[in-house]
A and B are shown apart, each in its own frame.
Chain A
Amino acid sequence: MNTEVNLAGIKMKNPVTVASGTFGYGREFSEYIDLNKLGGIITKGTSLKPRPGNKPPRVCETTAGMLNAIGLQNPGVEYFMENDLPWLRKFDTKVIVNACGSSIEEYVELAKVLNTLDIDGVELNLSCPNVKAGCMAFGTSYEGVKEVTSQVRKVLDKPLIVKLTPNVTDITLPAKGAEDAGADGVSLINTLLGMSIDIEKQRPVLANNMGGLSGPAVKPVAVRMVYQVSKAVNIPILGLGGIVNGKDVVEFMLAGATAISIGTGNFIEPEVSIKAIGEVEDYMKRHNITDINEIVGKVQMN
């Protein structure tokens, strides 16, 4: 039985990765799971310089989901390369760095640094809804995505995956922007912009007022968008949005994802990613599937 997949030139032992911002740089989860079993780890969104993040409250629970407005708090790429990367590289799993910036120049400077590191790929974050500048500001149009991606492409030789925002009318446009700029793959979806109000205080719960919705609540939106993008571009898709078990993994792959990320699910069950791999194998056995790649995009529309 083959579970190996090739995501944008990154060969992974299975299609299960963990999503940026839900797994730190892996250390905390190493107390609960064997990181060697994961297809890959997408790191916390990392910028050129450290970022302090937003004021609290930064998170709140919603129906079958949660809102966050962390604000890309991270220690910066220098800290990452000195402290976390050497530790992460001890494990037999792919390391993909989620890269974020406030300007094209910053994305390019960061990509230059990342190009020199011992990492397997870069996930270009053009989709964080919780920062004032950059990120989602670039990610909502064909031109914006194409512009940043092509500038980064010029300085980055490693596999480049562009992470897309669902906060658009037509997700295929930014996806095509990434493809036309030479990206090796796209990942979707980042969080859906949402808001929750404390009715006693008559104020939003989050200090940032709005935040990104994640968790099982967003899954149908994500599956739909993965399907639409898979029909519009010829580069592989890393699918994510509300995955909490192996059935969800299969659903995303049928919709067209070559690999998937588990995000918010990690907060509920630290072992969810490892369990999901086993459940995907069980599905393959039940359906006499010898190669996991057979199911990618195999949904038959009504």
Chain B
Amino acid sequence: MQVHAKCKLVKKEKLKEDIYKFSVESKEIAENAKMGQFLEIRVSDRIEPLLRRPISIHNINGDIVEFIFQVKGKGTEILAKKNEGEEIDILGPLGKGTFEIEEGKNIAIIGGGIGIFPLYELAKNAKGKCNVNMYLGFRNKDFVVLEKEFKEVSVKFVLTTDDGSYAEKGFAINFLKQDIEAKRIDKIYACGPLPMLKAVQSLAKENNVPCQISLEERMGCGIGVCLGCAVKINAGEETEYKHVCKDGPVFDANMVEI
């Protein structure tokens, strides 16, 4: 079930210079949310900026829904200026393609940069049910965020920076690769920049490991009517598109051409 609700901003935290964590109150969204889903947020009641902003759900805690966003343009700039106590206009939870976990599996969760946020709810739910191996990659030490929170929901935890300015040097996928080749992983979950997702996709395919990836694409409506956020499907000779908002945002990695 999806709702259109005015949700009270109960807590606003600045995680980095341009990254904010918002905790909003919505019993309906919290009760209905599934791992990997997103929200469509209207940042003002004006017609400029016009469209809602799709932002993934980071965590559900009772009636509280948390989402994290980076200030990137005029929409997120306005959103970042909201104060605690203000109401935020939200459609959600959205998306039919969600993360699925099977109990007792050795799972790998790999995220890069601001792509790590939707992976938290997954890791939190998988903790105790699965053996959670976490691989998070950031550009350098200044970009590292939520290390403690993600560490708490992991059994194995690897953090990398591209330049080695903090923790392990290199790309997170190289560490995942070692564990996959050692047959220590039953399923992979990924979210992050496109080059990382492409590398994860081929790694999973080569080693025949099931893999779910969370995608993003420019959206119009967020609810499956405008057909804007198209993603190409592997359909042999035929050209076929599915949609990030309706069929995703989480897809079986073998299904999509990214």
Contacts and interface: CB of A to CB of B under 8 A. Distances in A.
B230 A73 contact: yes
A22 interface: yes
Nearest to A215: B50
B91 A270 contact: yes
A61 interface: yes
A268 B49 CA distance: 10
Contacts of B50: 61, 64-66, 215-216, 264, 268
B217 interface: yes
Interface string A38-74: 0000001000000011111111110111101010010
A52 B51 contact: no
Contacts of B145: none
A267 to B, nearest CB: 4
Contact of B229 (A22, A32, A56): A56
Given A65-B50, A270-B91, A55 B230 contact: yes
A11 B185 CA distance: 62
A68 B218 CA distance: 11
A24 B226 CA distance: 7
B50 to A, nearest CB: 5
A59 B220 contact: yes
B35 interface: no
A225 B239 CA distance: 37
A270 B48 CA distance: 17
A107 interface: no
Contacts of B246: 28
B182 interface: no
B194 to A, nearest CB: 12
Interface in B1-45: 1-2, 4, 42
Contact of B4 (A23, A24, A73, A271): A271
Contacts of A82: none
Contacts of A91: none
A55 B232 CA distance: 8
A226 interface: no
B221 interface: yes
Nearest to B46: A64
A68 B220 CA distance: 9
Interface string A230-271: 000000000000001000000000000000000010111111
Interface residues of B, number: 32
A60 B218 CA distance: 7
A70 B4 contact: no
B224 interface: yes
Contacts of B49: 61
Contacts of A29: 223, 225
A21 interface: yes
A24 B220 CA distance: 13
B51 A66 contact: yes
Interface string B194-215: 0000000000000000000000
Contacts of B42: 268-269
A56 B217 contact: yes
B225 A63 contact: no
B241 A52 contact: yes
B229 A59 contact: yes
A58 B231 CA distance: 10
B228 interface: yes
Contact of A58 (B4, B51, B225, B228): B228
A31 interface: yes
Contacts of A73: 227, 230, 241
A54 B232 CA distance: 10
A215 B49 CA distance: 11
A160 B240 CA distance: 31
A209 to B, nearest CB: 15
A267 B220 contact: yes
A24 B225 contact: yes
Nearest to B47: A216
Across the A-B interface, the 3 shortest Cβ-Cβ residue pairs? A59-B228, A24-B225, A267-B221
Interface of A: 21-24, 28-29, 31-32, 44, 52-61, 63-66, 68, 70, 73, 205, 215-216, 244, 264, 266-271
9 contacts: A21-B226, A32-B4, A53-B227, A56-B230, A56-B241, A59-B218, A59-B219, A61-B50, A64-B48
